[in-house]
Structure 1
Amino acid sequence: MAGGLTQSEFKNPVVRWIDSRLPVFTMMQKEYGTFPTPRNFNYFWNFGALAMVNLVIMIVSGITLAMHYTPNSALAFDSVERIMRDVNFGWLIRYIHANGASMFFIVVYIHIYRGLYYGSYKAPRELLWMIGVVIFLLMMATAFMGYVLPWGQMSFWGATVITNLFSALPIVGDPIVTWLWGGFSVDNPTLNRFFSLHYLLPFVIFGVVFLHVAALHITGSNNPLGIDPKGPQDTLPFHPYYTAKDSFGMAIYLIVFACLVFFAPNYLGHPDNYIPANPLVTPPHIVPEWYFLPFYAILRSVPDKLGGVVLMFGAIAIWFVLPWLDTSPVRSMRFRPWTRPFFFLMILSFLVLLYVGGKPPEGAYVTAGRLATAYYFLYFLVLLPWLGVKERTLPLPESISRPVLRGGGPLPAGAAAKPMEKA
């Protein structure tokens, strides 16, 4: 073989010629073909692949919409209406993009809470988890800026309310708000800035996702048992086993996505956004998109503006230090009987925040929001550290393959098992 060329095992002459000079096919075969993965993945592990596909859908549909959108405060609303009415299949592209944002957050929320339940944030995957939190923050920023672009009533007033939150920060708050606005109110410079950033950030997300996947392939995947593979008997090659499983999950996902796009395209939106933005008319109830509502409810649960902002950002920042807050040596909550009910209560508190965030800040909604906020932080800051020390966990299986092949989960108390294994 000529110097500088690599050995390629592919039989196709074109593929072999490319791969010997740029071994991209060998890399893909290694990382997505023969890559060893735990043999006990359940369908919750589909959601990482679903998130990647959803990101591609959002980028492709977003680029297409940008070809017809006009980022000008006098023309933005009309340009969106033109996309809906005059551009060939413009209505379909916009509905895919708008509902794709909601589907993206649904997938990512399930992906996050799967990681919380099975302890995917524990060593050695701390950095993998933290990169995932960065992706979530970038998603929130991108979605917020995209919500402003239609320049309807809820877009305009949502941008006004959310950007004004930064004014609560001492010293730097007002300069940050002025920079975000590009002036002294939400206007044409704001729209231009948000359009530019909304177009750019998905490519930044794509780059961070690449780091996320690279970190995953270095540390290896977690699994429902939360124990590391002990040998080849505990793993399967990614292809064809998990490509087939992901394909089935993808088919179900696309069916649900299509039902939303074709039969209920405006179900998750707000009707006020079909009214052109008017700075002189304030909507009776200003709410962000549904996927921001839990954090919006946390913001409103504190009477003090600065305190609400700190708690709202703290609700996500707390995820960064979660690997050190959870002191238990056992990863999966399948073996943590004390922690499991508290975890499901935390999910319930998150759903309560999601509900009350879309309601007026009055009466029982305020009380429910404060109680849910208090429990959310109590779970992460108090219960997890305390349970990690005090909890008596169930015995862990000796290997992944044993409970898989015997058709069960945790071994019976009398079976041979290790009572505790370092995560």
Structure 2
Amino acid sequence: MSFPWANEYKPANGLTQWLDEKLPLPRFVYNAVGAGYPVPRNLNYMWNFGVLAGFCLVLQIVTGVILAMHYAANAGVAFDSVEHIMRDVNWGWMLRYAHANGASAFFVVVYLHIFRGFFYSSYKAPREMIWLLGVVIFLLMMATAFMGYVLPWGQMSFWGAKVITGLFGAIPVVGEPLQVWLLGGYAPDNAALNRFFSLHFLLPFVIAGVIILHIWALHIPGSSNPTGVEVKSESDTVPFHPYYTAKDGFGLGVFLLIYCAVLFFAPNMLGHPDNYIPANPLSTPAHIVPEWYFWPFYAILRAFTADFFFIPAKLMGVLAMFSAILVWFFLPWLDTSPVRSGHYRPLFRKFFWILLIDVAVLGYCGGAPAAEPYVMISQIASMYYFLHFLVILPLVSSIEKPEPLPFSITEAVLGKDESAVLNANPAAA
């Protein structure tokens, strides 16, 4: 979005002027994350998670590239190569733990980012494309994380690959050939490990490319804000630098304190004990479970236990699991309320907190054994999950009476904004 009051980039000396003429990279950075990019003045710390997600991606790429120098994608030695990294490579233990816990940190930040988008309706016009690209990023993250979980070639890595790739076999006609094509055979082995390693190395760079598009799309309409009211005047904005670079820096410092506490004091807290045992195709773990960030969707997958007419339960579970994410693509058109912020939507706000509890219940059931009462609870929670997006959200949008919105962002922050009123209605002067 072009703001007439935005600061223009002015080269300070001959060198920067020459560079600006030949390769305007400083101008691009200045306009993207500097004083040349005005942002709403009322952004709270929930708007830190975009920057934190970018930091996590850089962390994962840097540690991943170094780990790839020492990892061997061979079923016979993959587990031993991870132990070699842990024991023999200088600082290898820290790199491996930083990468493994960095994946969890990435998902924590992204889930907070997504649910902030749910509450403040960040998917509404004119920001639909930002949201759609964000969902694509999340899907790529899920694929990348799954392939990375296979690489240590422990018991849970092997059986996780066996179970998840086996889901493709539920697809009629093309399912089994597709499964064989994915694995390079009939069971996870060298071919599958090489495929997953190659894709796990490649996909983070694809994610980085989509993030660039995500940020590009963001800069067209500008950032949303907690009130959901669009920018009306210069008084509604402040330059991104130094105001939000300082705020993001503080958020990054808090994040690093928590991340380093886990990294140095509880690095195996989120790992499964069975994955510290070498993969054995002849010994099935008592309880096969993916990483914690897959648990809500894993619970939805397992919620289908009986065939539905001619549709097998396994296929229904697979379709429901993928639909649980794909439904997010349609949110800009399912939620028809003219008000964005949940702060001014009392009925919507209640159902948002119910959804949050529902997803937490799904997560707990996804990590629990596939037995009662967890299966029944998963079925109820899965039903509510889809009802929320497909029935409750459109219904609430049409019947809800929102609370009065502030006239402008400045009015929401400082009280009545006389300048904004005069700018919007010159006759009032």
TM bucket, shorter chain: over 0.9
Listed one character per residue, the Cα deviations across residues 42-98 of structure 1 (whole Å, up to 9, x for unaligned) are 000000000001100000000000000000000100000000000000000000000
Listed one character per residue, the Cα deviations across residues 90-137 of structure 1 (whole Å, up to 9, x for unaligned) are 000000000000000000000000000001000011111000000000
Asked if structure 1 preserves the Cα contact closer than 8 Å seen for 2:41 and 2:237, the reply is yes
1:143 maps to 145
1:116 maps to 118
What TM-score comes out, normalization by structure 1 length? 0.93
After TM superposition, list the pairs within 5 Å mapping 1:21-420 onto structure 2: 21-33=22-34, 34-303=36-305, 304-406=313-415
Paired residue type of 1:40: N
- CA root-mean-square deviation: 1.1
The answer for unaligned runs of 5 or more in structure 1 is 1-6, 408-423
Shift of 1:14: 3.5
Residues in 2 aligned to 1:17 and 1:273: alpha-carbon distance in whole angstroms: 55
Residues in 2 aligned to 1:343 and 1:222: alpha-carbon distance in whole angstroms: 19
Residues in 1 aligned to 2:33 and 2:296: alpha-carbon distance in whole angstroms: 36
Residues in 2 aligned to 1:27 and 1:230: alpha-carbon distance in whole angstroms: 25
Q: State the aligned residue count.
A: 401
Structure 1's 227 and 348: CA in aligned 2 closer, same or farther, altered over 3 A? same
Work out the percentage of aligned pairs sharing the same amino acid.
Answer: 61
Shift of 1:13: 4.2
Residues in 1 aligned to 2:314 and 2:215: alpha-carbon distance in whole angstroms: 38
Paired residue type of 1:135: I
SS at match of 1:366: helix
Listed one character per residue, the Cα deviations across residues 210-265 of structure 1 (whole Å, up to 9, x for unaligned) are 00000000121110001101110101110000000000000000111100100010
Listed one character per residue, the Cα deviations across residues 322-345 of structure 1 (whole Å, up to 9, x for unaligned) are 111111111111111011111100
2:421 maps to none
Shift of 1:12: 4.3
Listed one character per residue, the Cα deviations across residues 153-179 of structure 1 (whole Å, up to 9, x for unaligned) are 000000000000011111111111011
Asked if structure 2 preserves the Cα contact closer than 8 Å seen for 1:119 and 1:332, the reply is yes
SS at match of 2:352: helix
Asked if structure 2 preserves the Cα contact closer than 8 Å seen for 1:50 and 1:107, the reply is yes
Listed one character per residue, the Cα deviations across residues 281-305 of structure 1 (whole Å, up to 9, x for unaligned) are 0000000000000000000001110
2:423 maps to none
SS at match of 1:236: strand
Asked if structure 2 preserves the Cα contact closer than 8 Å seen for 1:166 and 1:173, the reply is yes
Asked if structure 2 preserves the Cα contact closer than 8 Å seen for 1:8 and 1:19, the reply is no
Shift of 1:18: 2.0
Listed one character per residue, the Cα deviations across residues 356-413 of structure 1 (whole Å, up to 9, x for unaligned) are 1011111111121111111111110001101111111101110000120139xxxxxx
Residues in 2 aligned to 1:378 and 1:11: alpha-carbon distance in whole angstroms: 57
The answer for unaligned runs of 5 or more in structure 2 is 1-7, 306-312, 417-429
Residues in 2 aligned to 1:230 and 1:18: alpha-carbon distance in whole angstroms: 34
Shift of 1:8: 7.2
Residues in 2 aligned to 1:189 and 1:219: alpha-carbon distance in whole angstroms: 46
Asked if structure 1 preserves the Cα contact closer than 8 Å seen for 2:227 and 2:412, the reply is no
Residues in 2 aligned to 1:236 and 1:215: alpha-carbon distance in whole angstroms: 20
Listed one character per residue, the Cα deviations across residues 175-230 of structure 1 (whole Å, up to 9, x for unaligned) are 11011110111111000000000000000000000000000001211100011011
Paired residue type of 2:278: P
Residues in 1 aligned to 2:93 and 2:14: alpha-carbon distance in whole angstroms: 44
Shift of 1:151: 0.2
SS at match of 2:220: helix
SS at match of 2:346: coil
Bigger CA drift: 36-45 or 8-17? 8-17
Listed one character per residue, the Cα deviations across residues 11-56 of structure 1 (whole Å, up to 9, x for unaligned) are 2444333222101101111121120101000000000000001100
Paired residue type of 1:230: K
Structure 1's 393 and 17: CA in aligned 2 closer, same or farther, altered over 3 A? same
What TM-score comes out, normalization by structure 2 length? 0.92
Asked if structure 2 preserves the Cα contact closer than 8 Å seen for 1:8 and 1:16, the reply is no
1:421 maps to none
Paired residue type of 1:65: L
SS at match of 1:260: helix
Asked if structure 1 preserves the Cα contact closer than 8 Å seen for 2:9 and 2:30, the reply is no
